[in-house]
Structure 1
Amino acid sequence: MTVFEMFGFGSEGWGSVLLLGAWMTLVLTLAALVIGALFGGVVAAMKLSRLRTLRVLGDAYTTVFRGVPELLVIYLFYFGGSSLVTTVGQSFGADGFVGVPPFAVGAVAVGMISGAYQAEVYRAAVLAVSRGELEAARAIGMPSLTMARRILIPQVLRFALPGLGNVWQLSLKDSALVSVTGLAELLRATQVAAGSTHQYFLFFVAGGVIYLLITGMSNRVFGRAEARVGRSFKRNFARN
């Protein structure tokens, strides 16, 4: 079988398997980024809180999920979650092992890891917002929700975009670890193709190239987003 046939989209080719794996990687990473944004926003608010208890809890979250190896977190969520579901199922009369969905577990695990990094990005972005603008808004009696919508959130997103691009790349690489659960993402698809054809070097190089292509496209998307947000702020500044 030639190289073109192995990477083709016919009955004996692995092209469609690799593309589906790449699509699964993108969907998993996007889901993890959204979940991480929810956790990261809450944890960032906790770390900025005046209450010491909330700050300690926020610091504990970021310390644990940035300090524990990502693979160990995925193992704990997948096998620990499966054990918990099995125990609950057996209490209701179910027999045998009950597994948890690999995609859901992978998205939550990678998302919570991502949330630890996003929390620091959001916290730094909030601290970068000019205190004078917020004080001026309070001085004229602007409601808190209006101040957040018109001043705080737009500037936080502007300052956070570069950091979120880095977090996306981290989550993209962490998604490869979810292959240990059997989810058919890009790394798992590459492993299956390499094992079936015994062309390990060829398919692993192909998998690496696909990851680099995804990374390159992601960099362009975030770069354009940063440029667009920067232009909008310049226009608003010129109007004022």
Structure 2
Amino acid sequence: MSQPGLLDLLSFGPEGWARALLAGAWMTILIAVSGYLIGGIIGTLGAWAKLSGGQTLRVAADAYTTVLRGIPDLLVIYLLYFGGSAAVTSIGRLFGAEGFIGFPGFLAGSLAVGITSGAQHTEVFRGAFRAVHPGEIEAAIACGMPRWLRFRRIVAPLTLRHALPGLGNVWQVVLKESALVSITGVAELLRQAQVGAGSTGLPFEFYLIAAVIYLAISSISGGILRRAERHFNRGVRRG
């Protein structure tokens, strides 16, 4: 029996893996977006703690960014997945459940990606806020803007303008980190490629297809971020 060709693998026919690979790509996007949003929330709080928090909050934020940037991302996924499974199993036994209860792989992966990217988000937001010229904030204060209005109209847009290039880099990192979630059994793109490679004996072809799909997602999302950067930089004179 002859091996299916590349076009056969990419088809929706009996020997095709197009549906499985597209489903894996969609799961990859969901994990990346979920982790990115979680990281953005953590990064916002972390940057606020470093910039405006008290001594305790600044120390905690510094410790968080130092530890998370020094631990391999895969280890964070292991800790959350197996630690979460142990916690859920213990809670289940209190209610009479027996045996091992696994922590949801999607949730563990999204949290792990979010927690690790949160350290990068923190530094991006902190640096972006520092890049805002103090005179612009002082002008808003002089105009009598309330604190919340000043944040919404001046601080947030200017900070986001300076943060967008860094946020684009964080997104690319998060997208690649999502492949590590395959170790929890989540059927994302790399996991589907591994299953296809093992089922057909064509590892090179499947991993090549996965690489092309990752590149396509990265290119499309990168283009969206570049458009957002141009939008927020309208009217800015470039040196």
TM-score bin (small chain): over 0.9
Equivalent position amino acid for 1:162 in 2 = P
Equivalent position amino acid for 1:206 in 2 = I
Identify the match of residue 6 of structure 2 among 3, 8, 22: 3
Q: Is residue 130 of structure 1 aligned with residue 133 of structure 2?
A: yes
Deviation at 1:203, TM superposition (A): 0.9
Q: Is residue 108 of structure 1 aligned with residue 111 of structure 2?
A: yes
Equivalent position amino acid for 1:33 in 2 = Y
Identify the match of residue 94 of structure 2 among 91, 96, 114: 91
Deviation at 1:133, TM superposition (A): 1.4
Identify the match of residue 35 of structure 1 among 29, 34, 38: 38
Identify the match of residue 66 of structure 1 among 69, 77, 83: 69
Deviation at 1:12, TM superposition (A): 2.1
Q: Deviations over 1:150-177 (max 9, x none)?
A: 1000001111111110000000000000
Equivalent position amino acid for 2:71 in 1 = V
Partner in structure 2 of residue 193 of structure 1: 196
Aligned residues: 234
Out of 105-114 and 135-144, give the one that drifted further.
135-144
Q: Distance in 2 between matches of 1:96 and 1:225?
A: 49
Structure 1 unaligned regions, length at least 5:
236-240
Partner in structure 2 of residue 228 of structure 1: 231
Identify the match of residue 26 of structure 2 among 14, 23, 26: 23
Q: Distance in 1 between matches of 2:108 and 2:81?
A: 6
Partner in structure 2 of residue 179 of structure 1: 182
Q: Deviations over 1:103-129 (max 9, x none)?
A: 111111101111110010000111111
Q: Distance in 1 between matches of 2:78 and 2:8?
A: 36
Q: Distance in 2 between matches of 1:143 and 1:39?
A: 25
Equivalent position amino acid for 2:90 in 1 = T
- Residues 1:27 and 1:50: Cα distance change in structure 2 (over 3 Å): closer
Q: Distance in 2 between matches of 1:149 and 1:2?
A: 55
Structure 2 unaligned regions, length at least 5:
none
Q: Is residue 204 of structure 1 aligned with residue 207 of structure 2?
A: yes
Identify the match of residue 147 of structure 2 among 144, 148, 151: 144
TM-score (norm 1): 0.94
SS in 2 for 1:190: helix
Partner in structure 2 of residue 238 of structure 1: none
Deviation at 1:25, TM superposition (A): 0.5
Equivalent position amino acid for 1:73 in 2 = V
Equivalent position amino acid for 1:121 in 2 = V
Equivalent position amino acid for 1:106 in 2 = G
Q: Distance in 1 between matches of 2:14 and 2:30?
A: 25
Equivalent position amino acid for 1:55 in 2 = R
Out of 49-58 and 158-167, give the one that drifted further.
49-58
Partner in structure 2 of residue 14 of structure 1: 17
SS in 2 for 1:62: helix
Partner in structure 2 of residue 45 of structure 1: 48
Q: Distance in 2 between matches of 1:214 and 1:146?
A: 36
Q: Distance in 1 between matches of 2:51 and 2:99?
A: 46
Q: Distance in 1 between matches of 2:136 and 2:18?
A: 54
SS in 1 for 2:41: helix
Deviation at 1:50, TM superposition (A): 5.0
Deviation at 1:38, TM superposition (A): 0.7
Q: Deviations over 1:188-235 (max 9, x none)?
A: 01000001000011111111111111111121111111111111x449
SS in 2 for 1:48: helix
Q: Distance in 2 between matches of 1:191 and 1:177?
A: 13
